[in-house]
């Protein structure tokens, strides 16, 4: 009878420990080994503390007392990461990545929402639109930063690692990637010790660049009726087409080079930034000359489209849209700048 009571006492203790263990450990097979090892240690300690050399009810309870409270046992398994501020070093890259993604989404949604509302409700002065966008972005960034930071602090305190959120399939892919990296001699990340993934998908860059060149050629060679369009507008279109085609050619060049010559890729990204900035003066010309921008209307008398241009009442709205396009173009340069810094890690 006494042995059953001792077993029950130990099982109740182990049950409490199990409840306190971090969630990342509960779903894994190793957690059973931890509880089994803990039970074995309790029996061994009970024998050591017993006057008879055999476990007794009192020695089992004393052994459990020596082991400590279930919460303190589980706490040892939560001390898993390397401390860095309130978030562990292991979780820090994932934390910053989530912040960047969420911040980008908030900025994009805020800008798109204001543009849609401005188009629906009527043209407002650009300063008011810009103020509304900045206010919306600020509020969204602060709230998301606080929520995400709290989540990652809690995860760090519980001892989570990024791989705890990955499926067995993803972990198998990482293992295969590591083996491939070793065979191919890919560079290894100094931070994580893991192989760096290829920084470019050559086929995707070549196909994407080809599509961009095709769009540029449509603007450049204008294989469509141009009789109704202003000559100055057509000239601007040709310049836009030349810049677009150049950008596509740079993408194809990167695709051909592939995952080699990282310094060359960085140089191409710098040239791409210049090419993307080049159309801005043309956009300013277009903004200050709304009369040349075409707007077609169906003429029932002649049964043809007529270029009536933009009505003066919509000039402010027209200018605001172009300004937003310019701002968006500048913001998208961040992608190329990010890639320049990212490729730096591949220089070995």
Report phi then psi at 332, rounded to 5. Answer: -70, -15
Q: What is the mean pLDDT of the chain?
A: 80
pLDDT of residue 62: 82
Of 211-215, 224-228, 293-297, minimum mean pLDDT range: 224-228
Q: Would you call 283 exposed, middle or buried from its count of C-beta atoms within 10 A (0-12, 13-18, 19+)?
A: middle
Radius of gyration of the chain (CA): 32
pLDDT of residue 122: 58
pLDDT of residue 190: 56
pLDDT at 310 over 50: yes
Q: What is the pLDDT of residues 292-309, one digit of tens each?
A: 888 888 777 777 788 888
pLDDT of residue 38: 82
pLDDT of residue 210: 93
pLDDT of residue 226: 80
Rounded to whole angstroms, the Cα distance separating 34 from 315 reads: 72
pLDDT of residue 1: 39
User: Between 134 and 178, where is the model more confident?
Assistant: 134
* 4-13, 189-198, 217-226, 267-276, range with greatest mean pLDDT: 267-276
| Contact (CB, 8 A) for 24 and 164 | yes
User: Mean of the pLDDT values across residues 30-54?
Assistant: 78
Q: 3-state DSSP call for residue 299?
A: strand
Q: What is the pLDDT of residues 106-165, one digit of tens each?
A: 888 888 777 777 666 655 666 676 777 788 788 888 899 999 999 888 888 777 777 776
Percent of the chain with pLDDT over 90: 18
Q: What is the pLDDT of residues 248-260, one digit of tens each?
A: 999 999 999 887 7
Rounded to whole angstroms, the Cα distance separating 137 from 108 reads: 9
pLDDT of residue 35: 79
User: Between 299 and 193, where is the model more confident?
Assistant: 299
Burial code (b: 16+ CB inside 10 Å, e: under 16) for 118-142 equals beeeebbebeebbebbeebbeebbe
Q: Would you call 197 exposed, middle or buried from its count of C-beta atoms within 10 A (0-12, 13-18, 19+)?
A: exposed
Return the number of other C-beta atoms located less than 10 Å from residue 231's C-beta.
Answer: 9
pLDDT at 316 over 70: yes
Among 28, 281, 325, 315, CA closest to 161: 28
pLDDT at 247 over 70: yes
pLDDT of residue 171: 66
Q: Give the pTM.
A: 0.52
As given in the structure block, the two tokens for residue 171 are 């972990």
Angle subtended at Cα 50 by Cα 46 and Cα 56, rounded to the nearest 5 degrees? 70
Which residues, listed in sequence order, are joined to residue 304 by a DSSP beta bridge? 299
With bands split at pLDDT 50, 70 and 90, how would you rate the model's confidence at 343? Answer: confident
Return the number of other C-beta atoms located less than 10 Å from residue 2's C-beta.
Answer: 10
pLDDT at 275 over 80: yes
pLDDT of residue 243: 95
pLDDT of residue 227: 83
pLDDT of residue 126: 62
As given in the structure block, the two tokens for residue 255 are 């695709």
With bands split at pLDDT 50, 70 and 90, how would you rate the model's confidence at 33? Answer: confident
With bands split at pLDDT 50, 70 and 90, how would you rate the model's confidence at 48? Answer: confident
């Amino acid at each position: 009878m006494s042995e059953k009571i001792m077993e029950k006492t130990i099982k109740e203790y182990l049950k409490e420990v199990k409840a306190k263990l971090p969630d990342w450990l509960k779903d894994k097979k190793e957690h059973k080994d931890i509880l089994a090892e803990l039970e074995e240690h309790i029996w061994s300690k009970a024998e050591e503390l017993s006057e008879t050399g055999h476990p007794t009810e009192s020695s089992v309870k004393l052994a459990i007392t020596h082991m400590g409270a279930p919460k303190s046992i589980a706490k040892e398994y939560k001390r898993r990461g390397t401390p860095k501020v309130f978030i562990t070093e292991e979780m820090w890259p994932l934390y910053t990545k989530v912040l960047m993604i969420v911040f980008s989404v908030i900025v994009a949604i805020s800008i798109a929402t204001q543009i849609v509302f401005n188009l629906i409700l009527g043209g407002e002065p650009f300063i008011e639109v810009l103020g509304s966008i900045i206010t919306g972005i600020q509020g969204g960034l602060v709230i998301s930063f606080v929520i995400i930071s709290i989540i990652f602090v809690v995860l760090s305190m519980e001892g989570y690692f990024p791989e705890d959120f990955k499926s067995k399939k993803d972990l198998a892919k990482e293992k295969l990637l590591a083996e491939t990296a070793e065979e191919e001699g890919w560079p290894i990340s100094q931070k994580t010790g893991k192989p760096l993934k290829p920084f470019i998908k050559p086929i995707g860059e070549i196909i994407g660049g080809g599509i961009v060149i095709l769009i540029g050629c449509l603007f450049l060679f204008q294989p469509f009726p141009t009789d109704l369009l202003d000559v100055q507008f057509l000239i601007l279109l040709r310049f836009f087409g030349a810049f677009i085609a150049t950008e596509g050619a740079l993408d194809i060049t990167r695709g051909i080079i592939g995952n080699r010559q990282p310094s060359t890729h960085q140089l191409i990204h710098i040239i791409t930034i210049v090419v993307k900035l080049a159309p801005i003066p043309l956009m300013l010309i277009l903004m200050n000359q709304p009369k040349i921008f075409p707007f077609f209307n169906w003429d029932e008398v002649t049964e043809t489209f007529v270029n009536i241009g933009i009505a003066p009442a919509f000039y402010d709205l027209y200018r605001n849209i172009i300004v937003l396009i310019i701002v968006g173009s500048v913001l998208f340069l961040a992608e190329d700048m990010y890639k320049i810094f990212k490729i730096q890690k591949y220089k070995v």
